[in-house]
Amino acid sequence: MTTLQPTIPARSVRSRLGGLTRSTPAYITVALVALVVVFSLISPEWRFLDATNLQAIGRNSAGLVLLAVGLTFVLGAGHIDLSVGATLVLSSVVAGTVAVRLAGEPSAAGTFPNAGLALVIAALAAVVVGGVAGLINGVLVTRLKVNSFVVTLGTMGVATGAAQVLTNGANVAGIPPAVQTSFGLNTVAGIPLPLVLAVVISLLAGVVLTQTSAGRHALAIGSSADGARRAGVNVQRSTIVVFVISGLMAGLAGFLDISRFGTTAISGHSTTMLQALSAVIIGGTSLFGGRASVPGSVIATFIPTVLLAGFVMVGVSSFYQNIAIGVVLIIAVWLDQLRGK
Amino acid sequence: MTDRRPPVLRASGLAKSFGHVEALRQGELTVHAGEVVALVGDNGAGKSTLISCVSGALLPDAGEVSVEGRPMPLGSIRAAMEYGIATVYQGLAMAPDLSVAENLFLSCELRRPGLLGRLGLLDKKAMRERAWQLMDGLGITTLQDVTLPVGDLSGGQRQVVAVARAVSRAGRLVIMDEPTAALGTRQSQMVIETIKATRDRGLGVVLISHDLPRVLQVADRIVIMRLGRVVADLAASGLKINQIVALMLGEQDNDREESLPA
């Protein structure tokens, strides 16, 4: 259309020569594959690659994947949601309670008369609780104009406390085991069902982020809220939407949590939000908004779970996982900044 | 240029205070179709406040705005856009992480035809091609890639993107707040040509600029503001720069001699 002139910034040439050199998901994938190869080589008899081990990694990652996908939207829009772990716990407690109430009295054989319907309603309840929590976050951030760090730090406490109040701090027992046998521990083509669900939702979320106005407006307000507003973007609505997405993801992750353990894990999620947040940032989403990658977040989610499984398998204390993730986080952001220059 | 239809824009009695500061006391502005009105005044005269009230970016404390005779809801950028008003803001209004094409279509995205479009999927290819045509139409030859983030562009290039966006969106009126401030001579001239082309398409143009020689080159009418009020509304032809400056500064006797080329 036009002749080339020497005024093009060098970056555009590079990005056209190979989007891969600038694509964080590509880097993360290479790192993840490298981790898998290393653990496979040093694990006894290649046991790291056993189906059971890989399935366990997949199951353990599914909920984290959903949290990371939700946080990708929030960070992309220039906000933060510290409440996702607490929302997960609250949703799982509500879902567990609903399942126990609706499932009826178990028979002598331990089967519940209404297990199927009870679990479906429990799953819906988890998603609704998450969505409402997200809506509250979004409305507080946009209407009170309080910084999202502060708002979600507050709602994190509220959600955690509400979960403890509901059950007096105890985990919900007596959930129909069908939640594990027919969903949580089930597989299709060898892939854990919760992971399949998480991946399908991630694909949809990726389309929403990159191919719809909702996603584009989220990134626009993350890049410059004032610029987006003046360009005609409804900043309040877009902001609420990203928090609702994050809440919905946390709610569904709450149900996955029950399906994984057969009960709730109220005190088992103190670092879940930080793990998801680390994955999102490692995956190339800017902490300051404007740039976000759903595939990057999803792939990066597997780094902590692979590290943990690998350390356990080769006999390194799992405590080292936290150290390793901390180091990976800093290196990833540093590399990202180098490439951004 | 006499009245044929109701004016594209009629703003009257606009007032806006920020705390104790009365930025705008009596904002009056009328623009007809196919007319370029220059809004001039010293810093703090209330020019930007006036146009922000018209563009929906600010909610005035008093006053009204009508577009082709229809009263426009105030304080809503979207409402102003729906009434056919598009604005180039001082300091732009771009999302630096988004590409040129994405910024050009921000909040007015094109969707794919058919079912996919109804599901909300964007037609990125069409937007890129239309972006190319827009930039080409403005004679922008230094910008090679509409997929480049706006943050990677030079100040001048960004300005040109902002102008292109406003001109492509406006159905009735384009407001430009210092559109040539960051530009070199050649690019400034390009923006002036764009303003003329926009006027020739039958749109109204409001131009804020400190560059009085260029203002006189393109404007049909000059509206002069001082201390939050419109103090003069004059046909541009035959006006001298020193007359404008005197009115801007509120000097009654015309004792300053300037020999700037008109």
Q: pLDDT of A65-86, one tens digit each?
A: 999 999 999 999 999 999 999 9
- Judge: A224–B108 Cβ closer than 8 Å, yes or no: no
- pLDDT band for position A105 (50/70/90)? confident
Q: Of B52, B97, B143, which to mutate for an interface test with A (greatest number of A Cβ within 10 Å)?
A: B97
**pLDDT surpasses 60 at A9:** no
Q: What is the mean pLDDT of residues A15-22?
A: 47
Neighbouring-strand partners of residue B9: B31, B67
- Judge: B145–A16 Cβ closer than 8 Å, yes or no: yes
- Judge: B122–A224 Cβ closer than 8 Å, yes or no: no
Residue A182 CB partners (closer than 8 Å, separation 6+):
none
What span, in angstroms and rounded, lies between the C-alpha atoms of A13 and A20?
A: 13
Which residue from B106, B120, B148 is facing A228, i.e. has the nearest CB?
B106
- Judge: B107–A217 Cβ closer than 8 Å, yes or no: yes
- pLDDT band for position A112 (50/70/90)? confident
- Model confidence pLDDT, tens digit, residues A223-278: 999 999 999 999 999 999 999 999 999 999 999 999 999 999 998 898 899 999 99
- pLDDT band for position B142 (50/70/90)? low
- Judge: B97–A291 Cβ closer than 8 Å, yes or no: yes
Chain A partners of B132 at a C-beta cutoff of 8 Å?
Answer: 1
Q: Minimum mean pLDDT among A78-82, A149-153, A284-288: which range?
A: A284-288
pTM for the full predicted model: 0.88
What pLDDT, on the 0 to 100 scale, is given for residue B124? 94
The closest of B225, B248, B204, B172 to B28, measured between CA atoms, is: B225
- Judge: A5–B144 Cβ closer than 8 Å, yes or no: yes
- pLDDT band for position B137 (50/70/90)? confident
| Contact status of A12 with chain B (Cβ, < 8 Å) | yes
Q: What is the mean pLDDT of residues A58-63?
A: 92
**pLDDT surpasses 90 at A329:** no
- pLDDT band for position A340 (50/70/90)? low
What pLDDT, on the 0 to 100 scale, is given for residue B255? 47
**pLDDT surpasses 90 at A181:** no
**pLDDT surpasses 50 at A36:** yes
Would you give the DSSP letter of residue B220? S
Indicate if ipTM > 0.90. no
Chain A partners of B102 at a C-beta cutoff of 8 Å?
Answer: 216, 220
What pLDDT, on the 0 to 100 scale, is given for residue A324? 85
Å from B6 to nearest chain A CA?
A: 26
Q: Residues of B near A (CB-CB distance < 8 A)?
A: 57, 77-78, 81, 87, 89, 92-98, 102-103, 106-109, 120-122, 124, 132, 136, 141-142, 144-145, 147-148, 152-153, 165
Size of interface A-B (CB pairs under 8 A): 102
What pLDDT, on the 0 to 100 scale, is given for residue A273? 93
A282 vs A337 pLDDT, higher one: A282
| Contact status of A337 with chain B (Cβ, < 8 Å) | no
Chain B partners of A289 at a C-beta cutoff of 8 Å?
Answer: 97
Chain A partners of B107 at a C-beta cutoff of 8 Å?
Answer: 213, 217, 228, 231-234
**pLDDT surpasses 80 at A14:** no
**pLDDT surpasses 60 at A4:** no
Residue A253 CB partners (closer than 8 Å, separation 6+):
A62, A63, A64, A66, A67, A84, A88, A91, A130
What pLDDT, on the 0 to 100 scale, is given for residue A256? 96
- pLDDT band for position B158 (50/70/90)? confident
B84 vs B187 pLDDT, higher one: B84
| Contact status of A281 with chain B (Cβ, < 8 Å) | no
Q: Minimum mean pLDDT among A75-89, B151-165, B214-228: which range?
A: B151-165
- Judge: A230–B109 Cβ closer than 8 Å, yes or no: no
What span, in angstroms and rounded, lies between the C-alpha atoms of A162 and A168?
A: 9
What pLDDT, on the 0 to 100 scale, is given for residue B50? 95
- Side by side, which strands form the sheet with B9-18? B70-71, B62-67, B9-18, B21-31, B229-235, B221-226, B36-41, B204-208, B173-177, B85-88
Mean pLDDT of all residues belonging to chain B: 88
Mean pLDDT of all residues belonging to chain A: 88
**pLDDT surpasses 50 at B162:** yes
- Taking only residues 182 to 241 of chain A, the set having a beta carbon closer than 8 angstroms to any beta carbon of chain B reads 207, 211-214, 216-217, 219-224, 226-234
- Judge: B120–A228 Cβ closer than 8 Å, yes or no: no
What span, in angstroms and rounded, lies between the C-alpha atoms of B21 and B18?
A: 5
| Contact status of A7 with chain B (Cβ, < 8 Å) | yes
Q: What is the mean pLDDT of residues A270-294?
A: 91
Search chain A and give the residue with CA nearest B92.
Answer: A227
What span, in angstroms and rounded, lies between the C-alpha atoms of A201 and A179?
A: 20
A314 vs A292 pLDDT, higher one: A292
Chain B partners of A207 at a C-beta cutoff of 8 Å?
Answer: 121
Q: Classify strands B62-67 and B173-177 as parallel, antiparallel or unpaired.
A: unpaired
Q: Minimum mean pLDDT among A40-49, A148-157, B36-45, B121-130: which range?
A: A40-49
Å from B245 to nearest chain A CA?
A: 31
Cβ atoms within 10 A of the Cβ of A273, count? 23
**pLDDT surpasses 80 at A87:** yes
The residue whose two tokens read 């403890």 is: A164
Which residue from B78, B109, B142 is facing A213, i.e. has the nearest CB?
B109
